[in-house]
Structure 1
Amino acid sequence: MKIHLKRLNDNYHFETTNERGDKVYLDNKSEPNPQGASPMELLLMGIAGCSGIDIVMILKKQQLEMTRLEMEVEGMRVDGEIPNVFRQIHLKIFIDGDIPENKAKRAVDLSLEKYCSVAKMLEKTAEITTEVVLNGSTVPA
C-alpha cells in the first residue's frame, strides 16, 4: 500500500493520491477556510469506513440486508497534550432493516474486536466504545 502527498498552496492544503488514483484532500483545521479534512478527522473516517465494511460483510454472509447504515464517530483528546492522540473514540452506528438485535450487535462487536484493522491500531491509545441504534431504537449493551 502506498500513497503520494502533494502540497497545493503556501500553507497546509495537501492532495493525497493512492495507487488507484483516488484523491483525498487534507488541510489544517485551524486555517480560516480549510479545504480538506484534518489528519485526525481522517483517522475517524478510517475507523468508520473500516468498521462499516466489516458490518456489511458480516451481515451479508448471514444473508441479512440493511436498508441503512450510518455512523457518527466522535474522538476525544486531552487539550494541551503533545502528541495529542485520541483517548476515547465513540461510534454511534445506525442500522435499519429486518435484522435481529443480537445479529446487529454481534456484527458491530466482531468488527471492532476482531476484524477492523484501524480499530485495532487505535485501541492502543484510545478506549473505543459503541452504541447501536437498530430501526430507531438503541440496542442494549
Structure 2
Amino acid sequence: MQGRVTWVDELTFVGEAGSGNSVVMEGGRKNNGIRPMEMILLGVGGCASYDVVSILQKARQDIISCHCELNGERPDATPAPFTRIEMEFVVRGRGLKEAQVARAVELSADKYCSASIMLRNAGVEIVHSYRVEEL
C-alpha cells in the first residue's frame, strides 16, 4: 500500500492513495478539509462497516442499510491519541436475525477489521455495539 501527502498552503494538505483516490486534509483553521484524526476515526468505522455488511451479505441477510455511529475520546493534551472509540452499528433490513448481526460485529472486532485490531493492540479501548431496525 502506498500514498502521498502534499502540502497545498497554510495547513491544508492533499492525501493521494495508491488507488488513485484523494482527500483534502486540514488542521482545523479554515475547516476546508477533514482533520487527520477524523480520518483515523472514519477509517476504523469504514473498515469495520465493510466487514459487517460483507458478513451479513454472505449470510444472506436482507440488509437495506447500515451505518456506524462513532465516538472517539482523546485527552485534552498533546499528543492526543485516541484512548477509547465507541462504535454502534445500525443495521436496517427485512427479517434480519439479531444473532447474525451480533456475530458479524463480533467477527469484525475480533478477526477481520485490521484498523480496529491495530488500534486495540496499541492500547485504545474499542467498544462495539449494534442496533437492528426492522423495515
Fold-level match, TM-score > 0.5? yes
Higher relative contact order (CA 8 A, sep 6+): 2
Residue of structure 2 equivalent to 1:93: 89
* Residues 22-101 of structure 1 mapped to structure 2, 5 A cutoff: 22-29=21-28, 31=29, 33-80=30-77, 82-97=78-93, 98-101=95-98
Is the contact made by 1:85 and 1:125 (CA closer than 8 Å) also made in structure 2?
Answer: no
Is the contact made by 1:74 and 1:91 (CA closer than 8 Å) also made in structure 2?
Answer: yes
Is the contact made by 2:109 and 2:128 (CA closer than 8 Å) also made in structure 1?
Answer: no
SS in structure 2 at match of 1:99: coil
Query: Percent identity at matched positions?
Result: 30
Unaligned runs of at least 5 residues, structure 1:
137-141
Q: Quote the offset at 1:83 in angstroms.
A: 2.2
Structure 2 residue identity aligned to 1:8: V
Q: Quote the offset at 1:65 in angstroms.
A: 2.8
Q: Quote the offset at 1:64 in angstroms.
A: 1.3
Give a deviation string over 1:83-137, Cα, whole Å, max 9, x none: 211111001111011211111011011101110000011112211012211107x
Q: Quote the offset at 1:78 in angstroms.
A: 1.4
Aligned equivalents of 1:64, 1:109: Cα separation in 2: 16
Is the contact made by 1:6 and 1:15 (CA closer than 8 Å) also made in structure 2?
Answer: yes
Structure 2 residue identity aligned to 1:28: G
How many residue pairs get aligned? The number is 132
Give a deviation string over 1:44-99, Cα, whole Å, max 9, x none: 1101110011011111111113101011111001111x321111100111101121
SS in structure 1 at match of 2:11: coil
Give a deviation string over 1:3-34, Cα, whole Å, max 9, x none: 1111111x1101011122101111002x0x21
Out of 113, 127, 130, the residue aligned to residue 128 of structure 2 is 130
Unaligned runs of at least 5 residues, structure 2:
none
Normalised by the size of structure 2, how large is the TM-score? 0.92
